[in-house]
């Protein structure tokens, strides 16, 4: 294990003990907005460094108290620098991109990590993370792709005519670079007009073993590749403003279906929520096959919050 990491977590463990002595059974949560755009927007995540021993049910209860789409529980890793568990208010997920950015940005902001490369153990595998003074960039798993739902069913769930999807000439697909999402193209100008039926989206997500819908339209702006919206009501998230895992999957999708020679993508998400965010994606290829997936962005610290240790 990286000695700097051990020292960082040891310091945080001592802090948690001191908090516990003064306010019994409280847990400190760092609040971070990830994938910000010019220090605004972004997607909030909670970060708990070296928490006390907790059951799955207790972690879910804490995630509900935090109230964000995801909360990360960070431990010292055995064969990695960190072990990170990710929880929504409804349950555990294997991986979370914006919470990963939040974890490493928190440690760097607290001067407990120097710029460099680190590893984290997640239920999606062991992944590398690069920390710089201005951003956090994570490696994601290589893409796994399978067939998506019928266009008519998806169109009904999104409240649009099927032609809004078929007019793109692109397929609906389930793609995972750590978490599976249903990727859905729509024609330019249609993204903000969606009328999502959250129950229908949850049912299709469950049927296709996916987290949710990641809907995108190609951008007319030269710097931005696509604008996106993400709906994950199956996990208690009607819509979120930046989704790192789905962004990695979308980068792979674009390389495979539309932009085979492109390696760098800038994705915007959250516009319809009034919380525009920017996510950077880099896809490396070797012999026309995807060999590496990286997703990164900036973040800002919002503050801290104290939540009660749940007795379950």
The DSSP annotation for 160-229 comes to S-THHHHTTT---EEEESSSEEEEEE--TT-GGG----HHHHHHHHHHTT-S-EEEEEE-SSSS--EEEE
Counting every residue, how long is the chain? 312
pLDDT over 80 (residue 7): no
The predicted structure's pLDDT at residue 21:
42
The whole-model pTM stands at 0.89
The predicted structure's pLDDT at residue 22:
39
Name the more confident of 16 and 34. Answer: 34
Distance of alpha carbon 215 from alpha carbon 23, whole angstroms: 44
The predicted structure's pLDDT at residue 20:
43
The predicted structure's pLDDT at residue 2:
65
pLDDT over 50 (residue 51): yes
pLDDT digits (tens, 9 = 90+) for 232-256: 999 999 999 999 999 999 999 999 9
Catalytic residue, chosen from 12, 70, 217, 268, is 70
The predicted structure's pLDDT at residue 220:
87
φ, ψ (nearest 5 deg) of residue 196: -65, 135
pLDDT digits (tens, 9 = 90+) for 160-219: 999 999 999 999 999 999 999 999 999 999 999 999 999 999 999 999 999 999 999 999
Residue range 67-92: average pLDDT? 96
The predicted structure's pLDDT at residue 70:
96
Q: Is the dihedral of CA 51, 56, 60, 65 positive or negative?
A: negative
Q: Which tokens in the block code for residue 296?
A: 């990164």
Q: Please give the share of the chain, as a percent, with pLDDT higher than 70.
A: 91
Residue range 266-271: average pLDDT? 98
Q: Which of 51, 8, 7 is nearest to 29 (CA)?
A: 51
pLDDT digits (tens, 9 = 90+) for 109-132: 999 999 999 999 999 999 999 999
pLDDT over 80 (residue 105): yes
pLDDT over 90 (residue 49): yes
pLDDT over 70 (residue 5): no
pLDDT digits (tens, 9 = 90+) for 144-165: 999 999 999 999 999 999 999 9
Does the annotation count 70 as an active-site position?
Answer: yes
Q: Please give the share of the chain, as a percent, with pLDDT higher than 90.
A: 86
Average pLDDT, the chain: 93
Is 35:22 a contact under the CB 8 Å cutoff? no
The predicted structure's pLDDT at residue 222:
83
- The CA-atom distances, in angstroms, between 48 and each of 62, 83, 250, 297, 302 are 10, 12, 29, 20, 14
Domains and CATH numbers, the chain: 3-137+299-308 (3.10.310.10), 144-297 (3.10.310.10)
């Amino acid at each position: 294990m990286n000695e700097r990491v051990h020292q960082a977590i040891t310091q945080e463990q001592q802090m948690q003990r001191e908090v516990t002595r003064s306010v019994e059974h409280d847990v400190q949560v760092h609040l971070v907005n990830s994938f910000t755009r010019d220090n605004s927007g972004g997607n909030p995540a909670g970060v708990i460094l070296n928490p006390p021993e907790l059951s799955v049910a207790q972690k879910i209860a804490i995630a509900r108290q935090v109230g964000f789409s995801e909360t990360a529980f960070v431990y010292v890793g055995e064969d990695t620098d960190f072990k990170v568990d990710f929880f929504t208010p409804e349950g555990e997920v294997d991986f979370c991109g914006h919470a990963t950015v939040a974890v490493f940005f928190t440690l760097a902001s607290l001067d407990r990590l120097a710029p460099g490369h680190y590893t984290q153990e997640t239920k999606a595998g062991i992944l590398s993370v690069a920390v710089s003074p201005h951003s956090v960039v994570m490696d994601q798993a290589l893409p796994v792709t399978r067939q998506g739902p019928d266009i008519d069913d998806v169109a009904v769930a999104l409240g649009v005519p099927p032609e809004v999807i078929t007019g793109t000439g692109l397929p609906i697909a389930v793609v995972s670079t750590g978490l599976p999402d249903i990727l859905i193209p729509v024609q330019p100008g249609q993204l903000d007009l969606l009328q999502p039926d959250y129950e229908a989206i949850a049912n299709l997500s469950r049927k296709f073993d996916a987290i949710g819908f990641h809907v995108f339209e190609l951008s007319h702006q030269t710097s931005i590749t696509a604008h996106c919206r993400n709906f994950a009501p199956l996990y208690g998230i009607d819509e979120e403003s930046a989704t790192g895992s789905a962004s990695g999957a979308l980068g792979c999708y674009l390389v495979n279906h539309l932009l085979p020679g492109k390696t760098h993508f800038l994705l915007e998400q959250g516009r319809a929520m009034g919380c525009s965010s920017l996510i950077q994606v880099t896809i490396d290829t070797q012999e026309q096959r995807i060999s590496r997936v990286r997703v990164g962005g900036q973040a800002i610290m919002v503050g801290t919050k104290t939540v009660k240790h749940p007795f379950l």
